[in-house]
Structure 1
Amino acid sequence: MPRKSLSPVIYNLRDVKAKVATPIHCIVCFDNDRLKISTGFKVLPTHWNYTKQRVKNVVDAIDKDKINSFLNDLEKAAGEIIADLKSKRIALTKDVLKSRIEEFLNPAPVEDKPKTLLQFVRWYIETCPTRLVRSKGNRAGRVISPSTIRRYKTTLNGLEAFALKYPRPLDFENIDSHFYKAFTEWLTARNYATNNVSKYIENVKGFMSAAVDEGFTTNLAFRKFSNLREDAENIYLTEPELNRIYLLDLSKTPRLEKVRDLFVFAAWTGLRFSDFSALQPEHFKSNTEGEVSLNLKQQKTGLRVTIPVESEVVIEILKKYNNRLPSGISNQKTNEYLKEICQLAEINERILKHVTKGGKQVIKTTDGWSKISSGVEKWQLITTHTARRSFATNMFKRGMPTLLIMKLTGHKKESEFLKYIKIDPEETESLIRSYMRQNSALPKTAQ
């Protein structure tokens, strides 16, 4: 039976002489070719209208309306699929057409949308390994890192524990000022440091922002949540202290010697652990004058930095390992070895490190935190990131302009960079006096 003039679809029966219900076939005609598709429905030949290619409107025809409605939808869909493929200049083949029609016949199941923040966060974390970073610039297009996923899971654990105590369900519409106040108070009561509380809030804001983008909620109250942060009292190592560490004889303990060399290398280049633990000879470039520089793309930010290799210590370390630095162990183990190294180097100045925990200011002790403390020896506070802060601070003390140091560290915002400058009031006063004396000489008497 010829198809309708403008329709690409013909419906026919497998066996027109059958005495029982027989399958209805769909024939899609395109570009002098034909594609046969099963509709999944059957009909008695006596109940089939061969002219209209539909089930007859007779009482005995079971499900006639449902079958005809399906046949109408399939015919319309086939025409639209063919028109779409042609408009997009996609080659019309049996495989392509069959795939598109099967998508129509067997649509993917629609998952229930998360209705609460906890449901959304669990779903969001599950899909993180294939999600791209929610930012622009150099990090755009990169998948979310395992370390970020671990932080998300920590926040989820906190939210789940909080939900057991909070009288309101954590539905999207309930993430408001009342939630913010209760959650921050709950975290503070658990003796969390102010900056840790801030990280939880930052993650909650990120989850809610993603939920808005995904169309799960329109609640924007989270945008008014304040990030409670205090300036961290982190330390740095002076150049004499770095020299003391570098000159330490560790030849009998290779595990410490390699970590020491990597740390000192970082302290004179400003690299993060994720960068200096993965350096290759290809990262070192020489210009026509034989000057060597370190050129790499930072793991964390995606920014490319070029660091001139001028420090004699760095040059010695590179020669020692033939431009292939030791492979880094885990950050946690490196920090453990660093404390052992710096204790051997007698980096033992007593430091008073203040932190707000549980809403009260406390001081670092050997065993934890207390309101009253004589502080801790400096080696106890040293981590891999101390190297980066030491580089920034020591270059600043040498008089290098902050914008140049930022070119080396990869900072884009001066406000973020200045957090790395760790000089005490006495050092600040000394630097100011030095700068003022450079231009304080009396003008020469006119001849």
Structure 2
Amino acid sequence: MASIKFSCIKKGNPSSLNIRFYHGRNIDCNAQSHILINPNDWSEKMQKFKPNTDIRIKNEFNPLIENLKNEIIRKFNIDYSKGDIINSKWLSKVVNDFYKRPEGIEDYKIFFAPFIENFAKESETRVNTITGKVISPRTIQKYRTIKNQIEDFEQIRKVRLKITDINLDFHRQFTSYLKTDKKYSNTLIEKNISTIKGFVKEAKEQGLEINHEVESKKFTFRRDEPIDTYLSVSEIDLIYNLDFSQNERLDNVRDLFIIGVWTGLRISDLKRINSFLFNKNSIVISETQKTGAIIEIPIHQQVRKILTKRNNQLPHIISEQKFNEYIKEVCKEAGIDEMTLGNIKNPDTNRKEKGYYPKFKLISSHTARRSFATNHYGNLPDNTIMAITGHKSHSQFMKYIKTTQKEHIEQVAKYWEQQDELKNEKHILKKI
């Protein structure tokens, strides 16, 4: 009589259940079941999960184990009666067929984490057909960060995800895991889900099988309303007018920041400032770092005065980390300390925490670009500002506009005041 036993040979968590299939004296073979469990949950003697195992694990894996066992017996009855050779290779093929996995096919064509790793590895030499540029190491690292998150999720849930497992049920469980276990913000969860959808789309384009639930409108996540600080023109003037003649470190970062404020450039482009062409009235950037756009920016009078002060020598480049550290010192010196709503990373949890902080603590290199867009918004046509910032879509541009609630309230109050003045004028004219 044919018999099947399941056991965990490896003791690491998770481990794959090993299948031993034997019949009489001549048939005794082994294969991996591809079912990942915690070996501490499995009783080899009882051939089932231990009584204290989480009921959810039992409900999820017991039907799978039983169905696999029945399929092996069914195939054995057919193939043995035909005289086929029953060995470990046969058993592996039965398991693969059970999972609809062709024999010998690479893991990355079936399983999600290996697919991401393979895609990341190929990206090291891949060229973006839209921009014509090679994929940046930072982007490839983002791919692998997502892969690590998937593998962590698999280990906790005791599963190994196939590409076809990326469906609405996965979405529900994974977003819950990121929110409750990892304490991620809604914005970071939305970015991860968006990236995962991109991987599945790539798998589909490669002709691999996917679950079309990933294309549902429900397969998304609502990101947090962004809280990004910007500096008003008067605050920028405070920074510009500071005397750092005795502090080269702060003088340098202040000048870099002012150039960023009046050019709307990203920090990645400011770090390439020595490659810009400074004409009499404009700055020409042959190719921006992120979008590859060619832009020409008029020189603001504060930028011109900085260049004159430095005998047309540009500020020297520093790392983004030092930039963000030093510019907070500059803003503190300028007295920009109004309590402002924002997010600051807690070093103990490595997560951003919303709260009210002195405004100088919220300033970073990106504040310059947001300040440029916000201070010009409403004073210049949107397409004019976008031509300088390099934004390709109006929706992306609008994310940079950061008018505070206080300013909205002031605008409404001013409007009401103007309406009252008009009413009073009409009343006086009518009385006369």
Q: Same-fold call, TM > 0.5? A: yes
Q: Which has the larger radius of gyration?
A: 1
Letter of the structure 2 residue corresponding to residue 127 of structure 1: E
Matching residue within 219, 224, 231 for 1:230: 224
CA contact (8 A) 1:113 1:216 kept: no
TM-score of the two chains, using structure 1 as the length reference: 0.64
Structure 1 segment 11-410 matched on structure 2, within 5 A = 112=106, 114=108, 115-133=110-128, 136=130, 139=131, 141-189=132-180, 190-224=182-216, 225-280=219-274, 282-286=276-280, 291-309=281-299, 311-353=300-342, 375-396=356-377, 399-410=379-390
SS of equivalent residue, structure 1 residue 148: helix
Matching residue within 400, 417, 424 for 1:420: 400
SS of equivalent residue, structure 1 residue 165: helix
- The 1:180/1:371 distance shift into structure 2, 3 A limit, reads closer
TM-score of the two chains, using structure 2 as the length reference: 0.66
Deviation at 1:281, TM superposition (A): 5.9
CA contact (8 A) 1:365 1:376 kept: no
Deviations 1:299-318 (A, max 9, x none): 11122222111x21110122
Q: State the match for 1:71 in structure 2.
A: none
Deviation at 1:297, TM superposition (A): 2.2
* Regions of 4+ moved over 4 Å: 363-374, 429-438, 440-443
Letter of the structure 1 residue corresponding to residue 176 of structure 2: E
Residue identity over aligned pairs, in percent, reads 37
Letter of the structure 2 residue corresponding to residue 262 of structure 1: L
Letter of the structure 2 residue corresponding to residue 209 of structure 1: K
Q: State the match for 2:14 in structure 1.
A: none
Q: Higher mean Cα deviation, 363-372 or 292-301?
A: 363-372
Q: In the comparison of the two structures, how many residue pairs are matched?
A: 316
SS of equivalent residue, structure 2 residue 391: coil
CA contact (8 A) 1:162 1:183 kept: yes
Question: Are 1:411 and 2:400 matched, yes or no?
Answer: no
Q: Higher mean Cα deviation, 341-350 or 214-223?
A: 214-223
C-alpha distance in 2, partners of 1:366/1:131?
36
Deviation at 1:275, TM superposition (A): 0.9
CA contact (8 A) 2:346 2:352 kept: no
Deviation at 1:177, TM superposition (A): 0.7
C-alpha distance in 1, partners of 2:235/2:161?
51
CA contact (8 A) 1:262 1:277 kept: no
CA contact (8 A) 2:264 2:388 kept: yes
Deviation at 1:251, TM superposition (A): 2.6
C-alpha distance in 2, partners of 1:307/1:431?
30
SS of equivalent residue, structure 1 residue 420: coil
The RMSD of aligned alpha carbons is 3.2
- The 1:117/1:372 distance shift into structure 2, 3 A limit, reads closer
C-alpha distance in 2, partners of 1:295/1:339?
27
Deviation at 1:116, TM superposition (A): 0.5
Deviation at 1:155, TM superposition (A): 1.3
- The 1:200/1:421 distance shift into structure 2, 3 A limit, reads same
CA contact (8 A) 1:353 1:364 kept: no
Runs of 5+ unmatched residues, structure 1 = 1-109, 355-362
